[in-house]
Amino acid sequence: MAETGALVGGTPARGGLFAGPSERTERSRLFREDRFLTRARALFYARLAFLVLGLGVIGVPSWSAAFGVGGPKAFAVYLVMVAYSAANYVFLARKTVGKALTFATLCADLCVLVWLVSITGGLRSPLLAAQLLFTILFVVLFPTPFSVVPPLLTFPVVAKLDQVLGGHAAVQIDLFILLWYSAINCILVYVMVYLNERDRLKHRELQKLSSALRDMAIVDERNRLAREIHDGLGGVLSSVVIQSEYLLNMIDGSEVRARISGSSEARAAILPTIRKELCDLHQAAEDSIEELRRSLRMMKEDF
Question: CA–CA separation, 73 vs 124, rounded Å?
Answer: 23
- Give the model's pLDDT for residue 108: 92
- Give the model's pLDDT for residue 17: 43
Q: How confident is the model over 111-140, as pLDDT tens digits?
A: 999 988 888 888 888 888 888 989 888 988
| Helix, strand, coil tally for the chain in percent (to 5) | 90, 0, 10
Query: Is residue 54's pLDDT more than 90?
Result: no
Between these two residues, 217 and 282, which has the higher pLDDT value? 217
- Give the model's pLDDT for residue 104: 92
- Give the model's pLDDT for residue 4: 42
- Mean residue pLDDT across the chain: 77
**Average pLDDT score over residue span 213-239:** 77
Question: CA–CA separation, 39 vs 223, rounded Å?
Answer: 43
Between these two residues, 77 and 164, which has the higher pLDDT value? 77
Query: Is residue 177's pLDDT more than 70?
Result: yes
- Give the model's pLDDT for residue 12: 43
- Give the model's pLDDT for residue 6: 40
State the CB neighbour count (10 A cutoff) for residue 182.
12
Question: CA–CA separation, 247 vs 284, rounded Å?
Answer: 14
Cα torsion 183, 185, 191, 194 to 10°: value is -110
In angstroms, how far apart are the furthest CA atoms of the chain? 135
Q: How confident is the model over 82-96, as pLDDT tens digits?
A: 999 999 999 888 877
Q: At what angle do helices 154-166 and 172-252 cross, to 10 degrees?
A: 160
- Give the model's pLDDT for residue 264: 59
Instruction: Fill in the DSSP letter of residue 121.
Output: T
Query: Is residue 13's pLDDT more than 70?
Result: no
Cβ–Cβ under 8 Å, residues 68 and 119:
yes
3-class secondary-structure state, position 292: helix
Any residues with CB less than 8 A from the CB of 43 and at least 6 apart, and which?
102, 106, 137, 141
- Give the model's pLDDT for residue 107: 92
Cβ–Cβ under 8 Å, residues 119 and 69:
yes
Query: Is residue 303's pLDDT more than 60?
Result: no
User: Which DSSP helix (H) or strand (E) runs through 158?
Assistant: helix 154-166
Among 140-154, 237-251, 270-284, the range with the most confident prediction by mean pLDDT is 140-154
Between these two residues, 25 and 133, which has the higher pLDDT value? 133
Question: CA–CA separation, 69 vs 166, rounded Å?
Answer: 16
**The model's pTM:** 0.62
